[in-house]
Structure 1
Amino acid sequence: MSHALIADLGGTNARFALVRTHHFEPFEVRVLPCKNYDSFFDAAADYVENCSIDLESIDAVVLAIAGPVNQDVIRFSNNPWHFTRDEIQTYFGESKPVALLNDFDAVGYSLEVLPKGDLVPVGDSVAVDPKAPSWVVGAGTGLGISCVVPQDNGPNLVLPGEGGHVDLSACNEAEDSILSFLRSRHKRVSAERVLSGMGLENIYEAIAHSQGIQKRLTAPEIGDALKRGDDPIADATLEQFFVFLGRVIGDLVLSVESRGGVYIAGGIVPRYLNEIHQSQFRTAMQDKGRMKDFVSPIPTFVVTSEYPGLMGCACYASYLVSKA
């Protein structure tokens, strides 16, 4: 049985796993905190030395990386690790097929193999055109975005980019106040400044400031406050997070008519399924003036799979081995 080593390398955690070629369920998954390792190679060595398959028996390697991969030196957006493609190839073996994907490109590849039960629709629109483009969006340590174009033969075409760093716009006075507060600190405010773990903290602090309160909570503290239900600022923060998410997704749909749907992954939104259904997310997404009817039919889904990035790596590994 042929095996691939797959990994989803984020800003906070590195998820390693094995997968049987032409199968898509990862096994022997280990989640390693990036801060515990000086480099990717230290983390990889820890995983390989403790898994059931030795390196020589691994037929392909696919790594999903939280940052742009089309660089001479590959650096992570929210993690000090860095390496070159040549260093990765040398480490795993010169003859072994190795692929480096952006982390949200990997989630894009997972759309081919995700079970329907792992997709929770948000809103009334659920009709998907399987031949049409899709967007994948996910907020976690950062904000990842990728555009997926289905192909008749071969893997999906996933268009590279760093869409999480586009400019953020405001549509009312409350949002103007948040952006003004953040602009005083960062000068330029990107979508990731509000749609990420850091973004929740930023929104909370900005809303508190607008009420004359100097207070900033960490993202886990905001999560705890939401569970307790005793902090109105935390409730307002999550609602504003979903509104900003809707606005950004609506802008993406205007850019590419994604009749294949919009798929929301990442570490934050799947934790708050009830809240996103009750929020103004879809209203904000469709709030596009004359183009409301253009945006409104586009379906949105929350990806509840635990490891969509790894499943995307597994999907890509099957193509990689077939090509070799």
Structure 2
Amino acid sequence: MSHALIADLGGTNARFALVPIHQFEPLEVKVLPCKNYETFFDAAADYVDHCSVDLKDIDAVVLAIAGPVNQDVIRFTNNPWHFTREEVQNYFGVDKQVALLNDFDAIGHCLEVLPETDKVVLGDVSQVDPTAASWVIGAGTGLGVACIVPQDNGPNIVLPGEGGHVDLSTCNEVEDDIIVFLRKRHKRVSAERVLSGMGLENIYEALAARHGIEKRLSAPEIGEALKAGNDPIAKATLEQFFVFLGRVIGNLVLSVEARGGVYIAGGIVPRYLKEILCSGFREAMQDKGRMKEFVSPIPTFVVMSEYPGLMGCACYASYLVSKA
């Protein structure tokens, strides 16, 4: 049986998997710490040596990379790995179909095959237009954003960009105070400064300062405080996080009318599904003044799949082999 080797490569971990061509559920998933390997190729060799399929039976290799892939040399921010497309092709073999995707490109392709059971609706609107554009956004270590344009024949078109670094706007005095606090440190405050793991920490510290408290918790510590239920600043931090997320998504919808829906991935929101369902997220998203009626019909979903990037790689691998 023909297989694809797929991988989601971050700065900290490299997730490898196998998938039969034209199937999309990742198999034999292994999460390898990048720090344990001098190069990507060392990690790949370790995975291939221990998986159930020989390299000769792999017809496609699709890598999702947390960063720009349109460079001559692809480098990683948090580890010393680097390689070129040519090196990847030569390593796996010139007879293999090889593709390098940005990590949110991969999530964009995942939408083509994502089961309905892996989508949770936020708000009262759930009707999508499958022919219309959609947005994917995800907060984790950073904030990723991609615009997806569906195609009748062939893979989705994923429009590249760095939407996580747009300017952050505010709509009330509390948000003004958060921005003023963060501006003293960062000068310019982007959406990623509040919509990421670091962003949770920033919001917490800024809200504490409003109460005359000098305190910063790490993102895991904020999570523990939320579980304990004894820290009102942590609770307010998560609520403000969801409100900022709604404001940013509303701005995306004003830029491109995403009647195909907005899909929220990343490591943070799925972890707090119950909390976002009860939050001011949708109200903030729709808080666009005269344009409220334009934004309100757009459906929003949380992507609950454990490996959406790998699923997107699997989908793209099928296109590669089909056109070969």
Using the size of structure 1 for normalisation, the TM-score is 0.97
- Cα separation, 1, equivalents of 2:181 and 2:278: 27
Letter aligned with residue 285 of structure 1: M
Q: CA deviation at 1:171?
A: 1.5
Code of the residue aligned with 1:62 in structure 2: it is V
Aligned twin of 1:25: 25
Q: Please name the residue that 2:209 is paired with.
A: 209
Distance 1:292 1:268 in 2: 27
Corresponding residue number in structure 1 for 2:251: 251
Is 1:179 aligned to residue 179 of structure 2?
yes
Return the letter of the residue paired with 2:220.
P
Q: For residue 44 of structure 1, what is the amino acid of its counterpart?
A: A
- The aligned counterpart of 1:260 is 260
Q: Is the Cα contact below 8 Å between 1:68 and 1:162 reproduced in 2?
A: no
Question: Which amino acid in the other structure matches residue 309 of structure 1?
Answer: G
For 1:75-94, list aligned pairs within 5 A: 75-77=75-77, 79-94=79-94
CA distance in 1, matches of 2:78, 2:183: 20
Give the C-alpha shift of residue 82 in structure 1.
2.5
Equivalent residue number for residue 74 of structure 1: 74
Q: Is the partner of 1:212 in helix, strand or coil? A: coil
Cross-structure match for 2:159: 159
Answer yes or no: is 1:50 the counterpart of 2:50.
yes
Uncovered stretches (5+) of structure 2, i.e. residues with no partner:
none
| Residue 239 of structure 1: aligned partner | 239
Mean CA deviation greater in 36-45 or 105-114: 36-45
Question: In structure 1, the residue corresponding to 2:81 is in which secondary structure?
Answer: strand
**Equivalent residue of 2:158, what SS?**
strand
**Structure 1 position 107 matched with structure 2 position 107:** yes
Q: Tell me how far apart the structure 2 counterparts of residues 287 and 262 of structure 1 sit (CA, whole Å).
A: 16
- Cα distance in 1 for partners of 2:12, 2:192 equals 16
**Aligned counterparts, 1:8-19, within 5 A:** 8-19=8-19
Which residue number corresponds to residue 283 of structure 1?
Answer: 283
Look up the match of 1:139. Answer: 139
Deviations 1:127-154 (A, max 9, x none): 1001000000111111111111111111
% identical aligned pairs: 81
CA–CA separation in structure 1 for the residues paired with 2:34 and 2:245: 27
In structure 1, runs of 5+ residues without a counterpart are none
Task: Using the TM superposition, give the Cα deviation of residue 77 of structure 1 relative to its aligned residue in structure 2, in angstroms.
Answer: 5.0
Amino acid at match of 1:262: V
Q: Is the 1:200–1:237 contact (alpha carbons within 8 Å) kept by the matching residues of 2?
A: yes
**Distance of 2:302 and 2:139 partners within structure 1:** 12
Which segment is superposed worse, 32-41 or 226-235?
A: 32-41
**Structure 1 residue 265: deviation in Å?**
0.6
Between 1:72-81 and 1:215-224, the stretch displaced more is: 72-81
The ranges of structure 1 where at least 4 consecutive aligned residues each deviate by more than 6 angstroms after the TM superposition are none
Aligned to 2:40: 40
Q: Number of residues paired by the alignment?
A: 324
Q: CA deviation at 1:188?
A: 1.5
Q: Which residue of 1 aligns with 2:148?
A: 148
CA RMSD of aligned residues (A): 1.3
Query: 1:58 Cα deviation (Å)?
Result: 1.1
Tell me the distance in 1 between the aligned counterparts of 2:161 and 2:228: 38
Q: Deviations 1:210-245 (Å, cap 9, x if unpaired)?
A: 222121111111111111111111101100110110
